[in-house]
Amino acid sequence: MPKQTYFNLPQKKRETIVDGAKQAFARQHYDRVTIDSIVACAGIPKGSFYQYFTGKDDLYSHMFANIGTEKYQLLIQEFDSGPHGTFSEAILVLMRRASEFDGQDSVMVMLKQRFLQECPQQVKQQIMQRMVPESMELFAHVIRWFVEIGEFRQDFPIGQAAYMLTASVLMLDTYPLENGEDHRQAFRNMVDMLAAGLRLRS
């Protein structure tokens, strides 16, 4: 978590620092990124860096938290703008928009690739833990909408359903595929199964 001095900065200055960090971490292997390379990209003195962050891991985690929040806000807006179709269709639309967000430019593509391949496990776990609440809230938001229109049961724990979807997304790449299916189809099957459990009994 950045220090309070960082949050006291004007928003534009904070954005400049995060954008500089994105450039630095996208260009090089995580282990080779130095504080010098970060401050050079961010355009801040090295002494100022330590007024804002405890170290490289701190900035890296904050950078991904920023990316996650930006994606969350985009997807909430996407869903609220409708139309939704079925629950499965709504979830798949959001996942497609999330994928488009991740691939919006070469920097984002490299950041995601390097995160998956190079980020130290401890730092990766910290970042994933920070992503879970926003992901759960996104899915809970969608589920609540389908409850409110009378398509889903009211007695099903929404938090548990949202967690199941979040876990499916985070662990999807590790799912062992069978019979020529791809991860997209596997995820669709998982969403359909969850929807069947949530749907009102006729």
Q: What pLDDT, on a 0 to 100 scale, did the predictor assign at position 54?
A: 94
Report how far residue 51's alpha carbon sits from residue 119's, in angstroms, rounded to the nearest whole number. 24
Q: What pLDDT, on a 0 to 100 scale, did the predictor assign at position 183?
A: 75
Scanning the structure block, which residue is given the tokens 């062992």?
A: 176
Q: What pLDDT, on a 0 to 100 scale, did the predictor assign at position 169?
A: 86
Q: What pLDDT, on a 0 to 100 scale, did the predictor assign at position 83?
A: 79
Report how far residue 193's alpha carbon sits from residue 190's, in angstroms, rounded to the nearest whole number. 5
Q: Convert 78-110 to b/e letters by CB count within 10 Å (16 or more is b).
A: bbeeeebeebbebbbbbbebbeeeeeeeeeeeb
Structure tokens at 39: 């401050």
DSSP codes joined into one string, 39-67: HHHHT--HHHHHHH-SSHHHHHHHHHHHH
Per the DSSP assignment, residues forming a β-bridge with 152 are: 199
Domain count, the chain: 1
Residue ranges in the chain whose pLDDT is less than 70: 173, 200-202
Q: What pLDDT, on a 0 to 100 scale, did the predictor assign at position 3?
A: 95
Cis peptide upstream of residue 83 (ω within 30 degrees of 0): yes
| Residue 135: CATH number of its domain | 1.10.357.10
**44-77 residue pLDDT tens:** 999 899 999 999 999 999 999 999 999 999 999 9
Domain that holds residue 144: 4-198
Report how far residue 28's alpha carbon sits from residue 111's, in angstroms, rounded to the nearest whole number. 10
User: pTM, whole model, 2 decimals?
Assistant: 0.85
Q: What pLDDT, on a 0 to 100 scale, did the predictor assign at position 202?
A: 55
Q: What pLDDT, on a 0 to 100 scale, did the predictor assign at position 172?
A: 74
